[in-house]
């Protein structure tokens, strides 16, 4: 059996190694358009900033090492230009010599990945305007910063690549502005959770312009000119365009393969395309979102690796199936960690799913053990069924552990309230006896059992301030004096039983504290005394972070780059 693989990196290289492990006699030939067959795609921004010092560390395998270990013929700087499925051949062009030749196959695997979206701006071909997708892209940016020592940079796009590049350019002392067309950074997150990301980015000296679309980028005598739909032009020394990626599927389209979202390749759960003996994996394929059961594109290394393995199994006569993805991801943003799995609240509502949530701010480990830090967790579930829909966590230590537990719970079909039953490892340096994931489960269990009712940040604008309801802050007077929500009176939770006569039992009570724990205790005291009580989801720390973010002058207001 002869297998030809188009594209290396995550999906293609994984498939090649797996095929060899399953079939020692197979002839495996890989064609990769770039000069690198297998590299640390997610590590590319960190070479720019100097965290990764040696460019050789970006290369996971070379053609020579792959041949030595797996006897796979790895051909770099070779582009497959045509597929002839009727006679099972591909046309290949050697990008260095210009030679064109034909290669036959028994099985063909497509792993072309995705390409950066590059709008048709006037100056997009300038040597001061960059995209970041390959090792070559990284080396170009690194060389430019080393040779020209730019003082300023604009990053267009506030997703994974945009934030990582912005952070690493700041590490070089460059003044950075991120321009994002959406109202908040990192689309997988809801706007309220993104407030914590905004705060961290701004704290580290990165300017933000949100809700403003870039109309054009051009190379002028004053520098790179970035024109926004709203506002005056910005000028900078260099620009990074990171507004997303699109499946690289021109080869598949020209070969007549069935395509889906954004031209992606349609595959079944065995990674087979619409044409016999042709498989496809990675960023170029359309998959199922396991939460929504809808078609989706998930451009992440984890799914690509899994798909490569599954395709290899089936190429070798196995029966492996890819059941879909849920978009679990994590990112370092300066000193914080942000992680997400499943769908967010905005997506759930757009799909007509009746969604509820809990928001909590637990410590990363036992409070009495030194070094613990707060994290903010948002866990989403379906109201009627308590099916877990997704989670978002932002904090420091321990974020990765909790998001992985929640991602596993979603995949396993665990009900949201059953998170309380998970038997998770505990020692004071690592967790609390009641792990944050367990705590989320307890909170949802209380909602399910009618022990607690919640109110949310989005209710704040419509919350009556006319005296018809009681607005109660149960923190200490010192905390209250440092800032509180408009219209809230202060009765500390530890004084509530003695001062309960100050409250009118005929009025609903909306309770808040710093994190949600003391207000929950207060809500139980009041409920047991006959009050109709609603506890705020998230606490004042969450409330003030979201409110301060909305008050910042970072939306559609150019700043800091006109020189």
Catalytic center residues? 42
Closest CA to 335 of 176, 203, 209, 154: 203
If residue 10 lies in a helix (H) or strand (E), which one and from where to where? helix 9-22
Measured CA to CA, the distance from residue 52 to residue 72 in angstroms comes to: 29
Three-class SS state of 28: strand
If residue 70 lies in a helix (H) or strand (E), which one and from where to where? helix 63-70
- Cα angle 162, 167, 168 (rounded to 5 degrees) comes to 100
Place of tokens 């079939």: 23
Residues in a beta bridge with 209: 179
Q: What does the DSSP assignment read for 99-158? A: -EEEEE-SEEEE---EEE-----TTTT-TTEE--SSHHHHHHHHHHHHHH--SEEEEE--
Measured CA to CA, the distance from residue 364 to residue 431 in angstroms comes to: 6
Closest CA to 469 of 505, 513, 512: 505
Three-class SS state of 173: coil
Buried b (16+ CB within 10 A) or exposed e, 507-533: ebbbbbbbbbbbbbbbbebbbeeebeb
- Write the CB contacts of 550 (distance below 8 Å, at least 6 apart in sequence): 195
- Write the CB contacts of 401 (distance below 8 Å, at least 6 apart in sequence): 431
Three-class SS state of 72: coil
Task: Confirm if 433 and 420 have CB atoms less than 8 A apart.
Answer: no
Measured CA to CA, the distance from residue 56 to residue 46 in angstroms comes to: 13
Which residues in 436-530 belong to E strands, given as ranges?
A: 454-455, 470-473, 489-490, 509-512
The 8-class DSSP code of residue 398 comes to: B
Measured CA to CA, the distance from residue 324 to residue 271 in angstroms comes to: 11
Angstrom distances, CA of residue 148 to CA of 51, 123, 144, 167, 533: 20, 19, 6, 19, 62
CB atoms under 10 Å from CB of 266, counted, come to: 18
Residues in a beta bridge with 535: 454, 511
Q: Nearest 5°: phi and psi at 5? A: -120, 130
């Amino acid at each position: 059996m002869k297998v030809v693989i188009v594209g290396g990196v995550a999906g293609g290289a994984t498939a090649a190694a797996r095929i060899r492990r399953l079939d020692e006699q197979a002839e495996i030939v890989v064609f990769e358009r770039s000069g690198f067959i297998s590299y640390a795609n997610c590590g590319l921004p960190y070479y720019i900033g100097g965290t990764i010092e040696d460019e050789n560390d970006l290369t996971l395998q070379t053609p020579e090492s792959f041949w030595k270990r797996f006897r796979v013929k790895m051909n770099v700087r070779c582009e497959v230009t045509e597929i002839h499925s009727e006679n099972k051949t591909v046309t290949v062009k050697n990008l260095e010599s210009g030679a064109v030749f034909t290669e036959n196959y028994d099985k063909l695997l497509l792993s072309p990945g995705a390409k950066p979206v590059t709008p048709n701006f006037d100056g997009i071909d300038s040597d001061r305007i960059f995209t970041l997708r390959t090792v070559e892209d990284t080396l170009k940016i690194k060389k430019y910063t080393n040779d020209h020592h730019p003082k300023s940079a604009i990053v267009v796009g506030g997703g994974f690549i945009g934030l990582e590049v912005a952070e690493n350019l700041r590490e070089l002392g460059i003044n950075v502005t991120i321009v994002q067309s959406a109202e908040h950074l990192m689309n997988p997150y809801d706007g309220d959770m993104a407030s914590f990301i905004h705060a961290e980015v701004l704290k580290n000296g990165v300017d933000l312009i949100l809700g403003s679309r870039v109309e054009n980028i051009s190379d002028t005598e004053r520098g790179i000119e970035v024109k926004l739909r709203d506002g005056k032009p910005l000028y900078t020394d260099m620009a990074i365009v990171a507004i997303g990626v699109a499946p690289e599927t021109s080869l598949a389209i020209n070969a007549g393969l069935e395509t889906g979202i954004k031209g992606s390749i349609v595959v079944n759960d065995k990674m087979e395309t619409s044409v016999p003996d042709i498989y496809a994996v990675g960023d170029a394929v359309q998959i199922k979102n396991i939460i929504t059961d809808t078609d989706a594109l998930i451009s992440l290394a984890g799914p690509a690796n899994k798909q490569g393995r599954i395709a290899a199994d089936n190429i070798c006569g196995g029966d492996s199936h890819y059941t879909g993805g849920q978009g679990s991801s994590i990112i370092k943003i300066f000193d914080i960690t942000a992680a997400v799995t499943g769908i967010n609240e905005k997506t759930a509502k757009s799909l007509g799913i009746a969604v509820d949530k809990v928001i909590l701010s637990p410590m990363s480990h036992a409070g009495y053990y030194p070094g613990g830090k707060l994290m903010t967790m948002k866990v989403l579930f379906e109201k009627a069924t308590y099916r877990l829909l997704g989670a978002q966590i932002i904090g420091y230590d321990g974020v990765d552990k909790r998001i992985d537990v929640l991602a596993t719970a979603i995949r396993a079909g665990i009900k949201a309230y059953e998170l309380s039953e998970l038997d998770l490892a505990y020692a004071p340096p690592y967790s609390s006896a009641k792990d944050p994931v367990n705590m989320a489960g307890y909170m949802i269990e209380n909602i399910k059992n009618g022990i607690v009712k919640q109110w949310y940040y989005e209710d704040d604008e419509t919350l009556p301030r006319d005296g018809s309801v009681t607005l109660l802050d149960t923190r200490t007077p010192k905390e209250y004096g440092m800032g509180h929500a408009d219209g809230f009176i202060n009765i500390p939770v530890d004084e509530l039983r003695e001062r309960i006569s100050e409250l009118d039992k005929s009025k609903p009570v909306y309770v808040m504290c710093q994190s949600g724990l003391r207000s929950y205790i207060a809500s139980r005291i009041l409920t047991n005394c006959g009050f109709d009580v609603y506890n705020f989801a998230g606490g004042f720390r969450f409330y003030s972070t979201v409110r301060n973010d909305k008050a910042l002058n970072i939306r559609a207001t150019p700043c800091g780059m006109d020189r």
